[in-house]
A = this chain, B = another copy of it.
Amino acid sequence: MTDKPMVPSAGLRRDMEILEVLAGHGDGRDADGFGVSWIAQRLGREKSQVSRALRALELEGMVERDPITRRYRLGWRLFALAARTQHARLVQIAAPYLRGLATAFDEDAYLCVLRGNLVLTLMSVPSSRVYHRVWEGISVPLLMAAAGRSLVADWDDQRIRELLRATTLPSELDSAVSGTEEWLADLAHVRSCGYAVTDVELEDSKAGVSAPVRDHRGLITAAISVSVTRTHAAARLHEIGAAVGEAARQLSISLGLVPDGRPVMSPTQGSP
């Protein structure tokens, strides 16, 4: 009845909730950390509990405390661990490609991975635009991300249909997402041309292009995407698309993909 704790995650979940609060929303002016009471209230937990948990986390270096304001923020240990993630390795290798795209077109460039049905942005290289929403570490629904089409390019139609059927979107964005058949056509375009073009999905950009990044086994592990805000001219979209596709292809090679070796599938593909 009362579930036996199949998973011994009692304090762990609490600690993760705390870390999640300390990470803030990324966008917000969370500025200089958070106090014990604020966190406790936000989590609906006891102050004492949070206080002790934070001290333990501090002892481990997962959080650190400003000696004067006595507020907590994420600590060096977490960053050190994050740097050892395979994602960090990927970002490291991808960085020059993203920089190249961002400066070449003066648009924001992103590196994204698939996590469940969400798209997690690993890295964003801003253009010179004044406003730049920081997406790093943020997950958005697959259908709303420019990188979405590229990340699922290898899925079979069956699975795509399920995904499209299962996903419910905020109603105001519903019209922005194209129909099922269009999606399938878009995926075919990715497979043949190596890049995807997306119109009107993300909130702060009107369009975007993306391309899949493959690892040494030929599996899609990430996607590069570039937002396109300045012009809607189809020509420009496809010009950038081709560049993104080429960057993704070269990045894949850097990851160990044999240049011309056939992945699992995808019938026609003349290497550019």
Q: Which residues of A approach B to under 8 Å, CB–CB?
A: 7-13, 15-16, 19-20, 22-26, 30-33, 52-53, 55-57, 59-60, 62, 66, 73-89, 91-92, 95-97, 100, 102-103, 106, 113, 115-118, 120, 122-123, 126-130, 132, 134, 136-139, 215-217, 219, 250, 254-256, 258, 264, 269-272
Contacts and interface: CB of A to CB of B under 8 A. Distances in A.
A60 B8 contact: no
7 contacts: A7-B52, A25-B84, A74-B81, A83-B122, A84-B137, A91-B217, A97-B271
A79 B116 contact: no
Nearest to A270: B254
B115 A76 contact: yes
Given A60-B12, A118-B128, A81 B83 contact: no
Contacts of A216: 76, 79-80, 82-83
Copies in the complex: 2
A19 B19 CA distance: 15
Contact of A126 (B24, B55, B116): B116
Nearest to A15: B12
Given A83-B136, A219-B95, A76 B272 contact: no
Contact of A52 (B8, B19, B26, B126): B8
